[in-house]
Amino acid sequence: MANFLKQILATLIGLVLFVSLGFGGLLVLVAAVSLSSPKPQVKDKTVLTFNLAQGISDAGSGTQSTDPISSLLSGSPTEPISLRDAVRAIQTAATDDRIVGIYLYGSGQSGASTGFATLREFRDALETFRNSNKPIYAYSTGWNERDYYLTSVATEVVMNPAGDLEFNGLGSEAVFFGEALQKLGVEVQPIRAGQYKSAVEPFTRNSSSPEDRQQRQVLLNDLWQEVLTTVASHRDLTPQALQTVADQRGILLADEAQTSGLVDRVAYVDEVFATLATLAESDDRDDDLGFQRMGLANYVEVAEAESDRQGDEVALVYLDGDIVNGSGTTGQIAGDRTASLIRRLRQDDDVKAIVLRINSPGGSATASDAIAREVQLAREAKPVIASMGNTAASGGYQIATQAQTIYAAPNTITGSIGVFGLVPNVQKLANDNGITWDVVKTGRYADMLTLSRPLTPDELAIQQKFVDRFYSSFVDMVAKTRELPQQQVANIAGGRVWSGVNAQQIGLVDELGSLDDALQAAAEAAELGDDWYVEEYPKATPFRQELLASLFSTMVRSPASQDAVSQYVQRLQTELSRVQTLDDPKGLYTRLPFQLWID
């Protein structure tokens, strides 16, 4: 409710200012507000803090929707911090004598869901900080596996006496609308290439196919094993012992978590603050918490200001979201816009190398192919490296194949080499409500794209021909770019998804590594030595433009914190909204075979 009122208040203030000052006056005011914001100053003996609810975004600021009004009213950023900013800030803090420690608090359960691959890179940065002989403290009243995967890196893990720790394994629940669509009178005819390409199943079935259950089980096993292995390395436990905890306890009370070795101490937050005050050697009674601190989002500005931008440019291009045709919107990989961007970077002599940070389940087959072509041309002109985030599957993987080297995290979700199409019709729905059609045509197939009836077997065969051609081209592309035998690619394709670990083993990925590893590899391939810097693309929208857009937007965002029912409804809405991104002109899609919700 507080966030809602802030949005309403901000909109009203904007309207009043607009009427009273006029547009020009408002621009001056916006400029004054943005320019007068003081730059963060780091004091001696400062503790760096991060609220897990804020989240870490795999993408750069140019691909995220921002909310400047909430930021101005709250006095702090409300959007997730980009992964590269967060990692760079932690690495800077490790050698910054003014920073004495890090405090991780809260839970990511109510905020943005950060993927496991993103968490791993952030966790690796935290481990570097800890290895610099600076402590990390983690505290909460409740964590799930995703939170604990990150916070287990802490020097001391502390839980509130009334808290709990969910450590019962990973689960993936698929949603099916097939029977509901049938009851509504909507029929969906699937066309696909690859027995594991299950993206059509939510609209045609009421349960998973055996192939889909198999691939999801294998994938979850890989992701869970990585969680067990990583957590065990910092908790003086074995993966087997952690699995026993998951099987026998599931959700642990604070004292049970301590007894099991997952938590170091059970304490109230004021006791943790006292520890941090001692660490910071603070006797500041004017501070509400008793110690000098700075949020990670603010420290990002410090790290950016102190970074060296001399030398040659390595372009970092964020490909984040569903792949769609045309210009798309923020949060999507638009075929025309992205192809144009890569083309400009290829032709820019100041850009010596390109790194593609891919976090996408795929999408339009036509747009994916157009982007992949531009990547191929870019690779012929200068080094191009692909770095996979949480997901780089189907069309996302298709784009990555054109890079000279592909990096992935062990828990990246990739592969899904396959193609599918969905052909809906509303004949029964319309007929049941008294609606009929009468067609006049000059060719046998003139009305084959209609929604008024099902496709005939001959028409389905025509559609299948396009799917098969795209699939064959996809397999050929992988075989050529990855230098693998055709049959070997055929065996690992079929729309099946793989973890980063398995993808490397079967030849789909070259190296397991971070975004920083990929950037370093690009610089080495371009023979830049140590004299280079990173420029991120696409560029972020200027603050003033964001502020004006937010002031006069009629959209009101939902609060980050939602109850369980609201979250589940939102999940259903997200599943259904996938249909809106299916805009390929041929109706063909290289997309992840499922929307993977991991709990």
One of 197, 352, 387, 514 is an active-site residue; which one?
A: 197
Q: What is the rounded distance in angstroms from the CA atom of residue 445 to the CA atom of residue 165? A: 60
Tokens 């001056």 belong to residue: 28
Cis ω before 383 (30° cut-off from 0): no
Q: What is the rounded distance in angstroms from the CA atom of residue 596 to the CA atom of residue 173? A: 8
Q: Please give the radius of gyration of the chain, using alpha carbons only, rounded to the nearest integer.
A: 26
Amino acid identity at 134: K
One of 82, 364, 394, 514 is an active-site residue; which one?
A: 394
Tokens 């290439």 belong to residue: 193
The phi, psi pair for 104, rounded to 5°, reads -100, 130
At CA 366, angle to CA 365 and CA 368, rounded to 5? 65
Amino acid identity at 162: A
Strands 312-320 and 532-537: parallel
Q: If DSSP states are collapsed to H, E and C, what string results for 525-572?
A: HCCCCCCEEEEEECCCCCHHHHHHHHHCCCCCCCCCCCCHHHHHHHHH
- Report how far apart, in Å, the C-alpha atoms of 317 and of each of 539, 542, 575 are: 10, 18, 27
The phi, psi pair for 464, rounded to 5°, reads -65, -35
Contact 163, 258 (CB under 8 A): no
Catalytic: 394?
yes
414: number of CA atoms within 13 Å, CB side? 35
Structure-block tokens of residue 319: 């490909």
Active site members: 197, 394
